[in-house]
């Protein structure tokens, strides 16, 4: 009986280790994805910086300039869901956020299917989850994102995610 209990304990421990290894691989993918990191930097900029920041908006363009200064107003304009006439920079911003939200959505799926634990995911992604999920973290005054922008940055991000079915 003691050997049986010990075998079950070892099996459970090995399964936990495999889940953590799987999660670490997903997080590593997220951290090396240029587009996901570009969106993460833009979200971080909305929280930390007053005007915006320079990001690698075109990481797949080896010949041209990859860096662009992305202001809060550009992020706001790019993620609006009430228009469809986007310029090249706005399309690139949208693409970065699509990748970013896909990773977050994948993590949520893995939690729902009990492949990983919420507490484990939170250890890796708590900063982004808190920024997007806690009221007040990204509630930037409309004048901070440009004249006539209206609305809050957090709401724009979440409205975009909802509109394009990122759960």
> What are 93-110's pLDDT values in tens digits?
999 999 898 888 888 888
Distance CA(91)–CA(93), nearest Å, equals 5
Nearest CA-CA partner of 99 in 42, 31, 36: 36
Q: pLDDT at residue 150 above 50?
A: no
Q: How far is CA 48 from CA 7, 42, 51, 52, 131, in A?
A: 49, 10, 9, 9, 11
pLDDT at 135: 55
């Amino acid at each position: 009986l003691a050997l049986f209990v010990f075998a079950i304990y070892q099996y459970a421990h090995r399964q936990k280790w495999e889940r953590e290894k799987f999660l670490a691989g997903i997080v590593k993918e997220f951290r090396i994805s240029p587009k996901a990191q570009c969106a993460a930097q833009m979200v971080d900029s909305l929280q930390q910086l007053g005007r915006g920041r320079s990001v690698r908006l075109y990481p797949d363009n080896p010949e041209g300039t990859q860096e662009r200064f992305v202001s809060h107003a550009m992020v706001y304009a790019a993620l609006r869901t009430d228009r469809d006439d986007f310029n090249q920079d706005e399309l690139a911003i949208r693409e970065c956020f699509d990748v970013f939200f896909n990773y977050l959505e994948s993590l949520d799926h893995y939690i729902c299917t009990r492949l990983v634990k919420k507490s484990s995911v939170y250890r890796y992604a708590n900063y982004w989850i808190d920024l997007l999920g806690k009221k007040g973290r990204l509630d930037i005054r409309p004048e901070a994102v440009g004249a006539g922008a209206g609305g809050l940055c957090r709401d724009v991000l979440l409205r975009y995610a909802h509109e394009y079915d990122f759960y």
